[in-house]
Amino acid sequence: MKGYQVRRLVGRFFFGLSVFALVSPAILVFLWMLSLSLKNEVDNMSFVPVFIPNPPTLNNFIEVFERNDFLTYTINSVIVSFGATGLALLLGVPAGFGVAKAKAHKVAALIMIARVTPGLSYLIPLFLLFQWIGLTGSQAPLLITHLVITVPIVVWVMIGFFEGLPSELEEAALVDGATIWQAFRHIALPLARPGIVVAMILAFIFSWNNFIFGVVLAGRTTRTLPVAVYNVISFEQVSWGPLAAAALLVTAPVLVLTLLMQKEIVAGLTAGGVKGG
């Protein structure tokens, strides 16, 4: 073999090694989570770890559902995240269109400041407000607060998307006598569908993952999944198996969504750098 061939082979080997080094921590933590959730308590607590469950058991998952109100928390999470995402789309898609067309860049700056503000600074006033008007004991306060996360994400992604669309089609429709609403509804909106998908996925994921709002605002029966896993399951059960199983159940929808929609998620995050809370 010639010298340059050897060098190339060595280069490839080290490149492969570095990719492996980058990707393995990401996958290993999730595999360990899966492993913990499928083992009995003796195997989980032994100092020499049992890496591959033998035999794997589903008891931890059964225990999560039997000993906790896991279904209620799931329903709460679904109501809050779907509600906040749906409302944000309803409000944010037209707003993104309006801001992009009116070139109102100051509105975009406001969204930026919202991105910089720590989540707790919304919570203190909203917490007092909800106490005053007595809006406790339902999912409504959480759903409203989650708009703090979802509306800026949707508006931000949609501004970028509508700015990138060619305006000739709409202008042609306006010249032909369509109203602005018709131009939006029948021309811009169908063209913006990929952007709406990106906004919807990101808003949903960041709402689903949110913890800080729920920790403060949710009551015993209105907890969302992340709060329930932290509050109920981690304190009432010290055993690791059910805890890992519950953690896995909470994050599984997001992981599946990421695997299925990675192209949209990457596009949205690269353009916006958005993150909620």
Partner 1 sequence: MSAEARAPEMRAPSTGLRGRNYARNYWPFVVPAGVVVFAVIVFPWIFTLYMSVHEWEVGGAFTFVGLDNYLRLPTDERFLWAVVRTLYFTALSVAFPVILGVAAAVCFHRNFPLRGLARTIFILPMMATPVAIALVWTMMFHPQAGVLNYLLTSVGLPPSLWSYSAATVIPTLVLVETWQWTPLVMLIVLGGLASLPTDPFEAARIDGASAWDTFRHLTVPLVWPHIIVATVIRTIDALKAFDLIFVVSGGGPGTSSETINLYLYQTAFAFYNMGYAAAMTVVFFIIILLISLVLFTTRQQEKWQ
Site stretch for partner 1 (CB under 8 A), options 55-63, 64-72, 127-135, 189-197: 127-135
Cβ neighbours of residue 113 under 8 Å, at least 6 residues apart? none
138 sits near partner 1 (criterion: CB under 8 A): no
Q: How far is the CB of 115 from partner 1 (least distance, A)?
A: 7
235 sits near partner 1 (criterion: CB under 8 A): no
Site stretch for partner 1 (CB under 8 A), options 2-10, 54-62, 67-75, 209-217: 209-217
251 sits near partner 1 (criterion: CB under 8 A): yes
Q: What token pair was written down for 219?
A: 């009551």
Site stretch for partner 1 (CB under 8 A), options 2-10, 62-70, 189-197, 224-232: 224-232
Name the residue with tokens 């340059």: 4
Q: Which of residues 72-101 bind partner 1 (CB under 8 A)?
A: 87, 91-92, 94-95, 97-99, 101
Distances (CA, A) of 19 to 7, 26, 28: 18, 12, 14
Residue 96, by phi and psi: left (phi above 0), alpha (psi -120 to 50) or beta? alpha
Nearer to partner 1, 30 or 186 (CB): 30
Q: How far is the CB of 99 from partner 1 (least distance, A)?
A: 6
Query: How many beta carbons lie within 10 A of that of residue 116, not counting itself?
Result: 6
Under a CB-based contact definition with an 8 Å cutoff, are residues 114 and 152 in contact? yes
141 sits near partner 1 (criterion: CB under 8 A): no
Q: How far is the CB of 104 from partner 1 (least distance, A)?
A: 7
Crossing angle of the two packed helices 140-164 and 193-209, in degrees rounded to 10? 150
Q: How far is the CB of 59 from partner 1 (least distance, A)?
A: 18
Site stretch for partner 1 (CB under 8 A), options 2-10, 56-64, 66-74, 225-233: 225-233
164 sits near partner 1 (criterion: CB under 8 A): yes
Peptide bond into 242 cis (omega under 30): no
| Nearest in space to 73 (alpha carbons), one of 246, 216, 202, 212 | 246
What's the CA gap between 35 and 171, in Å, rounded? 58
Q: Which of residues 20-49 bind partner 1 (CB under 8 A)?
A: 22-23, 25-27, 29-30, 32-33, 36, 44-49
212 sits near partner 1 (criterion: CB under 8 A): yes
The binder of partner 1 chosen from 60, 64, 83, 152 (CB under 8 A): 152
Cβ neighbours of residue 100 under 8 Å, at least 6 residues apart? 158, 159, 161, 162, 163
134 sits near partner 1 (criterion: CB under 8 A): no
